[in-house]
Amino acid sequence: MSATLGGEELELHYASSERLYPGLDFLVPGLLLLAMRHGEQLSIPGGVSPRLLEATAQIQDIFNMWESVFRKVGIRAEGMGTAPANRPAEGVACVFGGGIDSFHTLMRHREEITHLLYLHPQGEDPRARERALRRVREVAKATGKALIEVDTNFRQLSREHRIPWKYAHGPWIASAALLFQHVVGKVFVAGSTTSNYDNLRPQGTHPILDPLWSTERTSFYHDGCEVRRVRKAAEISGFAPAMKWLQVCDRTGGAGNCGGCEKCLRSMLNLQAAGALKRCQTLPDEIDPEAVRALDLTGYSESYFARENLRALKGTPDNEELVRALQDALERGAAIIAHSGYREENLERFRQRIRNLRQENARLKQRLRRQERRRRIRYRIADRIAELLLRIPGARYAAESVAKRLSTAGAKNPPY
């Protein structure tokens, strides 16, 4: 689809292994954040689900409350899409990335789920992409689920228009899923730790937000908010496909786990607390306490995960050294945050000085503009008076005579 944004034309494209639904509902999540980011009305050249169209007001309220850069805009569709009388498709999809959350959703709804919906990340290395796809295909085969693969430039457009991925990934999922309303009538979106009921934070996939993307034919369900990550790891430890194909690492483009990054170590600690690390075939069998001690836990999510793992590891046998390492990492992170808070206070004072200087500069500019405006008015009045005086008979001759005498006397600037 082509769209015009700020006078510039952009293209949003999708490719899939499955035939695409012919409706235009996918454009609502596909373009809404772009329109809000630029404060432009979203006009869709065709019918859109009445249920989805009605929900866009609440969707915009949510994003606008989370980030003021998302301004509320008008949405216009040239007609209504699927009628409410149309029956939903019988298929049930799970948005699947291969991590702990999506494996947990697949495991506990495996009798109901018929399809895995896999969205290719943008810009992957071709070899990493092929390995990631092979892994997902193996999971689909092992669990007896049909696989829907989707490739889109949605992520690239979001990056180009400065839309944070923490917000954009939810509409990315919804837009892709709405292209298969003829296949799936229900879509499970796996919740993460940042969407647990005791830790709800603004993000693109959210238990309040996800159901609002639903249409008359396809409904979205945010799954797993009531289950902590350590418990999820314990539960999937008995699920053979998860232990064989678990993918948690962000560094490899989906082509395996590096075993040393924060996400890998976090997941290894989850499994270690559950006594299941040795069962996982995609992660190292042992955890280096020094690697844990060196973790950067200054971010909110990272420290939250670490505290959760610390609670789970305490009191378990043979994990005393890991407990001490996590405690050291958390203490160091807290010290850095405290120091950075002091620096932030100084930085805020500096920012305030800059704001004051900018305000003073704006006042000076305004004063200079007023002075310049008065000067231009005086010049125009003087020119007009001179023009009128020169129309008096003999005035021009007299003025030229005066100028000539002054010039002869050495005057540098004649008076007219």
Q: Tens digit of pLDDT for each residue in 220-274?
A: 999 988 888 889 999 999 999 999 999 998 777 767 888 888 889 999 999 998 8
Kindly list the distances between the CA atom of residue 275 and the CA atoms of 286, 316, 369, in Å, as whole numbers in the listed order: 12, 9, 73
261 within 8 A of 285, measured Cβ to Cβ: no
Is residue 400 domain-resident? Answer: no
Q: Are residues 182 and 281 in the same domain?
A: no
What does the block give as tokens for 227? 């289950």
Q: Are residues 263 and 209 in the same domain?
A: no
Q: Give the Cα separation of 254 and 249 in Å (integer).
A: 7
Is residue 371 domain-resident? Answer: no
| pLDDT confidence of residue 123 | 60
Q: Give the Cα separation of 304 and 31 in Å (integer).
A: 33
- Out of 124-128, 366-370, 374-378, least confident range: 124-128
| pLDDT confidence of residue 145 | 96
Domain end among 355, 377, 394: 355
| pLDDT confidence of residue 4 | 82
Q: Are residues 166 and 277 in the same domain?
A: no
Strands 146-152 and 14-16, sheet pairing = antiparallel
> How confident is the model over 6-17, as pLDDT tens digits?
778 889 999 998
Mean pLDDT value across residues 379-407: 75
- The boundaries of the domain holding residue 297 are 248-355
Q: Are residues 235 and 191 in the same domain?
A: yes
Mean pLDDT value across residues 187-211: 84
Q: Which of 84-93, 191-200, 243-252 has the highest mean pLDDT?
A: 243-252
- The confidence band for 416, taking pLDDT boundaries of 50, 70 and 90, is very low
Q: Give the Cα separation of 59 and 277 in Å (integer).
A: 40
Does pLDDT of 362 surpass 90?
no
156 within 8 A of 11, measured Cβ to Cβ: no
| pLDDT confidence of residue 280 | 92
Domain of 28: which CATH number? 3.40.50
| pLDDT confidence of residue 222 | 94
| pLDDT confidence of residue 116 | 96
- Out of 208-222, 291-305, 398-412, least confident range: 398-412
> How confident is the model over 33-82, as pLDDT tens digits?
999 999 999 998 888 999 999 999 999 999 999 998 899 999 988 866 55
Q: Are residues 33 and 151 in the same domain?
A: yes
Q: Are residues 42 and 127 in the same domain?
A: yes
| pLDDT confidence of residue 83 | 52
Mean pLDDT value across residues 328-335: 86
> How confident is the model over 72-83, as pLDDT tens digits?
999 988 866 555
- Exposure class string for 69-84: b at 16+ Cβ within 10 A, else e: bbeebebebeeebbee
| pLDDT confidence of residue 96 | 94
Does pLDDT of 315 surpass 90?
no
- Out of 154-168, 171-185, 194-208, least confident range: 194-208
Under DSSP, is residue 220 helix (H, G, I), strand (E, B) or coil?
Answer: strand
Amino acid at 235: E
Q: Are residues 256 and 235 in the same domain?
A: no
What does the block give as tokens for 160? 């180009």
Is residue 162 domain-resident? Answer: yes
Mean pLDDT value across residues 160-179: 92
Q: Are residues 225 and 332 in the same domain?
A: no
Under DSSP, is residue 189 helix (H, G, I), strand (E, B) or coil?
Answer: strand
Mean pLDDT value across residues 140-164: 92
Partner residues linked to 11 by β-bridges = 2
Domain count, the chain: 2
Q: Are residues 242 and 346 in the same domain?
A: no
- The confidence band for 331, taking pLDDT boundaries of 50, 70 and 90, is confident
